């Protein structure tokens, strides 16, 4: 059976990862965990883009070989993914033979079919963006800052006949509105495609750049880093092998919004030329801004995710980037906002609800879940809100609407805390005549805690097992039949001892 196949961009190894890289990988991990929880078999791929001018230059500056530099950076990415509990199934590095082999196979096939030609080319080249840019991109006679130094160069290069796919691609994008999400990005690409689309320069002379995959039909050239990198999505699942059909088409390529042109133009044209299906969907999220500019290695305005993990914990970082980073717009990172979300939504609201529910059940019923007794204030509303939250969650998780999902689960937490205040179990416990009412309140609270443990488990892989342990359940899973996680515990179920989930005090550091 075909697996649910999700990818992140493969990140450049010119520097260590910052919160932006961590965010995309966390977002993909949350989706992978969500899909697994609903019973799907998942293949989750992330990795590193190791070739190209930037990496060669960085290694040179440090006085090391590009491969040695890449090895060092790879260790730093792997360490971060481990600390963030990223559940990727594979980790690709474009310097690996398994990847190079497929890049060369694709190039040879396209060359044999006349999709690639050699031509003299003069143009403006940006090493920072690893691409030729045109004068159309100038603003007030200057290239925008994102391109860094742009120099005019003239050289012979290989070109992929991308231009011929323009009208097909426009039709495809119009006919498949879900393909590129959110809608605003599709409109941006369609706008770009209203201008003539040229062919794509896919080689670099070795005299200028040696750190790349050699062109199989001309040893004086290496492959353009974007042409090389995009192929990771098919090299890892074994393009050309029988197993490939278990993976392809990919279900989702998750990326940041600055790389939609290669993903939504070059990549579909390449796949069309190779003769294989396009991925089902691409989601391009917005940026973290830090001090009002895009958080970026080049500007140096970056937040180190390791620092945040050390000050709080991995779940706090995961929760924050899912709560705050937006799909369509950009988001401003501040330490104050991080602390505020942690204190109020995790420690105060969620931590408090779980702790008081489990504690009261221990105190009043020795941890044994009572059956529902008499009805009273807020029972129906709480149940209704829980059911609606589950429905909203199931609809919005596959759309990467994590901020909205967490806002809704947060409202359910608040509603449940309010239910505790309204019913004051500590008062009910004092009156034997109200035992049936206390039973109901305790039962409903545990049910909501179970539901929240389930819904939050893709986001909080450290915390959710702690909730499961307190409830004494092996873990959380949706029932496959109706994807429901409500009413999962039977009366008389024995729960465990309460332990605080989030230390509410100051961060560790
Ligand atoms: O572009 N906010 O690699 P890269 C949110 N190698 N996300 C951010 C971010 C920010 N400020 N900064 C970076 C490349 N990201 C290529 C990709 S794929 C075949 C090749 C995240 O190291 C976001 O996912 O520059 C963005 O698209 C990616 O890091 C760029 O990483």
How much distance in Å is there from the Cα of 194 to the middle of ligand 1? Answer: 26
The mean-pLDDT minimum among 46-55, 59-68, 497-506 falls in: 497-506
The pLDDT, as a whole number, for residue 505 is 52
The answer to whether the CB of 346 is under 6 A from ligand 1 is no
The pLDDT, as a whole number, for residue 481 is 60
Q: Confidence class of residue 128 from pLDDT cuts 50, 70 and 90?
A: confident
Which residue has a Cα nearest atom 18 of ligand 1? 9
Closest to 417 in 3D by CA, of 339, 365, 471, 357 = 357
Q: Read off the DSSP letter of residue 3.
A: P
pTM (2 decimals)?
A: 0.95
Q: Which residues contact 501 (CB under 8 A, 6 or more apart)?
A: 346, 347, 350, 351, 354, 355, 463, 466, 467
> Which of 47, 146, 230, 256 has most ligand 1 atoms within 8 Å of CB, for mutation?
256
How much distance in Å is there from the Cα of 382 to the middle of ligand 1? Answer: 41
Alpha-carbon torsion angle 31, 37, 38, 42, nearest 10: 60
Residues pairing with 283 in the sheet = 181, 254
pLDDT tens digits, one per residue of 228-249: 999 999 999 999 999 999 999 9
Distance between CA atoms of residues 404 and 127, nearest Å:
38
The answer to whether the CB of 15 is under 6 A from ligand 1 is no
In the numeric block, the tokens 């499961």 are attached to 468
As a whole number, mean pLDDT of residues 398-416 equals 98
Average pLDDT, the chain: 94
How much distance in Å is there from the Cα of 69 to the middle of ligand 1? Answer: 19
Specify whether the CB–CB gap between 125 and 153 falls below 8 A: yes
As a whole number, mean pLDDT of residues 254-281 equals 97
The answer to whether the CB of 12 is under 6 A from ligand 1 is yes
Q: Read off the DSSP letter of residue 14.
A: S
Which residue has a Cα nearest atom 23 of ligand 1? 256
Q: Which atom of ligand 1 is nearest to the CA of 14?
A: 22
> Which of 11, 102, 126 has most ligand 1 atoms within 8 Å of CB, for mutation?
11
Q: Which atom of ligand 1 is nearest to the CA of 256?
A: 27
Q: Torsion-angle region of residue 367: left (phi > 0), alpha (psi -120 to 50) or beta?
A: left
Closest to 145 in 3D by CA, of 21, 38, 304, 299 = 299
Distance between CA atoms of residues 159 and 145, nearest Å:
27
pLDDT above 90: residue 479:
no
Mind spelling out the 3-state secondary structure of 340-391?
A: HHHHHHHHHHHHHHHHHHHHHHHHHHCCECCCCCCCCCCHHHHHHHHHHHHH
Distance between CA atoms of residues 20 and 146, nearest Å:
16
């Amino acid at each position: 059976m075909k697996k649910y196949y999700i990818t992140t961009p493969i990140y450049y190894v010119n520097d260590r990862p910052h919160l932006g890289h961590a965010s995309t990988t966390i977002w993909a991990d949350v989706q992978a965990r969500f899909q697994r929880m609903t019973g799907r078999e998942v293949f989750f791929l992330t990795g590193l883009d190791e070739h190209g001018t930037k990496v060669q230059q960085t290694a040179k500056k440090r006085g090391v070989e590009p491969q040695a530099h890449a090895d060092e950076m790879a260790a730093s990415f792997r360490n971060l993914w481990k600390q963030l509990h990223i559940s990727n199934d594979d980790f690709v590095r474009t310097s690996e033979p398994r990847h190079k082999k497929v890049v060369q196979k694709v190039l040879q096939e396209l060359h044999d079919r006349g999709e690639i030609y050699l031509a003299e080319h003069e143009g403006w080249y940006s090493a920072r963006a690893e691409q030729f840019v045109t004068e159309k991109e100038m603003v007030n006679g200057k290239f925008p800052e994102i391109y860094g130094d742009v120099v005019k160069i003239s050289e012979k290069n290989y070109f992929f006949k991308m231009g011929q796919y323009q009208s097909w691609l426009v039709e495809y994008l119009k006919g498949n509105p879900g393909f590129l999400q959110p809608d605003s990005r599709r409109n941006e690409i369609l706008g770009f495609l209203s201008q003539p689309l040229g062919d794509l320069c896919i080689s670099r002379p070795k005299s200028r750049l040696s750190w790349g995959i050699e062109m199989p039909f001309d040893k004086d050239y290496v492959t353009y880093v974007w042409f090389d990198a995009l192929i990771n999505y098919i090299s890892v699942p074994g393009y050309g092998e029988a197993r490939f059909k278990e993976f392809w088409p990919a279900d989702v390529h998750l990326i940041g919004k600055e790389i939609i042109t290669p993903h939504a133009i070059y990549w579909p044209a390449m796949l069309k030329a190779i003769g294989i299906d396009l991925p089902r969907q691409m989601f391009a999220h917005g940026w973290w801004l830090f001090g009002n500019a895009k958080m970026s290695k080049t500007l140096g305005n970056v937040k180190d995710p390791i620092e945040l993990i050390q000050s709080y914990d991995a779940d706090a970082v995961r929760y924050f980037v899912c709560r705050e980073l937006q799909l369509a717009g950009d988001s401003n990172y501040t330490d104050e906002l991080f602390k505020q979300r942690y204190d109020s939504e995790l420690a105060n609201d969620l931590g408090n609800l779980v702790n008081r529910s489990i504690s009261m059940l221990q105190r009043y019923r020795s941890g044994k879940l009572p059956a529902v007794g008499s009805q009273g204030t807020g029972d129906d509303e709480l149940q209704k809100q829980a059911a609606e939250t589950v429905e909203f969650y199931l609809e919005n998780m596959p759309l990467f609407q994590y901020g909205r999902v967490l806002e809704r689960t947060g409202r359910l937490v608040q509603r449940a805390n309010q239910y505790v205040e309204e019913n004051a179990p500590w008062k009910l416990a004092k009156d034997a005549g109200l035992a049936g009412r206390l039973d109901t309140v305790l039962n409903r609270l545990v049910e909501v805690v179970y539901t929240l443990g389930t819904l939050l488990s893709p986001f909080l892989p450290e915390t959710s097992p702690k909730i499961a342990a307190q409830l004494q359940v092996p873990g959380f899973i949706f029932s496959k039949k109706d994807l429901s996680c409500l009413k999962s515990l039977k009366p008389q179920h024995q729960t465990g001892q309460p332990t605080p989930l989030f230390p509410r005090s100051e961060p560790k550091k």
